[in-house]
Structure formats: C-alpha cells, structure tokens
Amino acid sequence: MLVACHPDFRAQAALACHRELDHKSYWSLPIARQREVLRHHSLFTLVGLSTVSLASEPLVLDVLRQRWLASLAALTNDVAAMLDVMRRTRAVLSGPRVLAYIDAVDTPHLPWQFIVASQGFDDFCDWLKTHEGARVDNLPSATDVFSSNPSVAGRRLFRTKNGYFDIIQSASTNVLLPIPSYSSTALVNYITADEICVGYPFLALRNLALPAYHLTPRNYPAASAEIERLGYTMAQSANAAYPDYHGRCMPYGVCVRCPRFLGDGFSLMVRFGAVARPLVDVTPSMKVVGQTVAWTWGGNGCGHQHCMTRAKFIAHNSLMVYSST
C-alpha cells in the first residue's frame, strides 16, 4: 500500500489541501508546473491532494521521492550509494530533519540523525568515513534524551564538509527501537531509503506535540525549543491538545495510555520508492507485516477518569507478522 493512514486523517489532510492549494489555478497548469508547485507543500497537503484526486497519487509520490533525493544530495555526492548503504544496514533518518522533510522547509543548520540497527552500525559509520571523509566529533550533551537510554547501544558524531552526522546504534536488531524515546511526539517519525512513517500525524497536522514522559525541568526547555524552531508547539498534556474531549479519552491514539506501534492504524505511512521489502508494510486490508516497535507514550493523562493519573512510558520490541490475506 503506497499511502496508508486513518480515514479521518485523509479527510483532515484533504481539508488542509483545500486551504493550502489554489485548486483553480493548480489544475490549469501543465504537469511540469504542477510538480514545481507541489515541491513547496507539506507531506500532509500532498496526502490530501492524493485523496481529493486519486489520479494525482503518482505525481505526489514522485514529488516526495525527488524531495528525498534532493535532501540527500545536500550531504553526499553519491546519492545512489547513500541509499544503498541505508538499505543494507537498515538505517533510518530520524529527528528534526524528518520534520523538515514533512514540512518542505530548508534547514541547513540541523544535524543528520540516523538510527542504525545494532549489526549495521559499524558498517554505516565506516561508509561515512571512507566515502564522505567523516571525522569524529565531540560526544553529545549529558542532558541529551538518548544518554543512558536502554534502547541505545552506542553513538558516534561525525562532521563532513557537507554537514554534521549523529549516528545512533539501536540496542536491538530492530532499528526502530529508539524512536519512541524522542523528547516529543513530533519526532516519533522516520524515513528509510524508500518510505516515511509519521507516528502522530493528527497532532503534526495541527503543528502540535506532546512532551515525553521522561522529560525533566532541566531538559524540557531545550526539547520545546527544538520543535518550536520548526513551527511546532509543545502542548502541556493530551487534554490541552484536545480540550473539547474533557471527560473522554483522547482520539486517534493520542491518549498517553493508548498502546501504539509504528505502522498502526493511527500512523501515516507513505512509500515513495521501489523497495522490495519495507521495514513495516501495511497491506491493502490494513494488516501489518514486519518488525516494528510498540509503546505507550506516558505522561499526564487525558480527560477520561481512568487516564487522569500520570501514566508510565513503556516501549518494547514487537515482531508483528500477519498474513496478507
């Protein structure tokens, strides 16, 4: 399935597309000009367009693919080799750079943060040193969200002539294990060589985020500032994000007690490349095939009587293998 998401998200994305895109002038343009217009719109607007017009989906996917290739071209002179090493080591781009891709904004100051499966970590780092001339940089701050994190086995920082790399080694063969440990829901996303997954698209569409359970007063300001620079606002709680749901559980997997996994019915997944075997595959019947990670977000509960107390964060490996029939 090339675009997989909740039906309500498709509807909300379609409304966003109507707000953001001048449809009268857009449909009168030749394909080349349509492509140029779409280059500057967010992932969510493009998903909305593919909902409004199914015939637009091939163009939307190609625009997203070219956006990804252009992003990689800013950090390497050999994009094909970069994609190959990502597939071979099962590396994913994570962190604020994924938000920049989603919103189609240029952020040359941001680091390139990659998470690599445990067995591919050394190969990925060696490739950076051999092909990109990467040199080792300083260690991350002790207040970093991944310091002393059991989902992370190792970390290396590199600099090249094209940018700053932050390479994170998953403590598991499952490359996705560290992703729910990010400081806010806005960063629970990843991009492989061929696809993107957004963990909390309903919040991201509104430029909102929930803070992580493990954030302390010491590192909250930095975490909030990190996403505010990209146009997102940190809500104090799920109840603050959905005030109209007072007394009811938050919708769309936003409740901090809701069991979630990357690729579930509340995620957004878009496959823009011709990958043979994706990390997490969603079949046309909305079943999931592959290895993903499950979690409950934790933190201040929503308005429902059973969610008012502070919930704990829980994350674990989850091998989800279903029949596609």
Nearest C-alpha neighbor of 127 from the set 177, 167, 174, 184: 167
The pLDDT score that the predictor gives to residue 323 is 41
The pLDDT score that the predictor gives to residue 303 is 62
The pLDDT score that the predictor gives to residue 142 is 45
The pLDDT score that the predictor gives to residue 14 is 96
Q: Which residue intervals of the chain are DSSP H helices?
A: 7-20, 23-26, 31-38, 43-52, 57-73, 79-89, 96-103, 121-132, 201-205, 220-228, 238-241
Task: Check: CB of residue 77 under 8 Å from CB of residue 99.
Answer: no
The pLDDT score that the predictor gives to residue 306 is 64
The pLDDT score that the predictor gives to residue 324 is 43
The pLDDT score that the predictor gives to residue 244 is 79
Nearest C-alpha neighbor of 320 from the set 258, 264, 252: 264
How many Å apart are CA 76 and CA 127, to the nearest integer?
12
Q: What is the mean pLDDT of each run of 10 residues along the chain (325 residues)?
A: 89 95 90 95 96 91 96 93 94 96 91 94 94 78 66 90 91 92 94 96 96 82 91 86 77 88 93 73 61 84 65 69 45
Distance of CA 189 to the CA centre of its chain: 2
The pLDDT score that the predictor gives to residue 67 is 96
Task: Check: CB of residue 270 under 8 Å from CB of residue 102.
Answer: no
The pLDDT score that the predictor gives to residue 325 is 40
How many Å apart are CA 149 and CA 301, to the nearest integer?
23
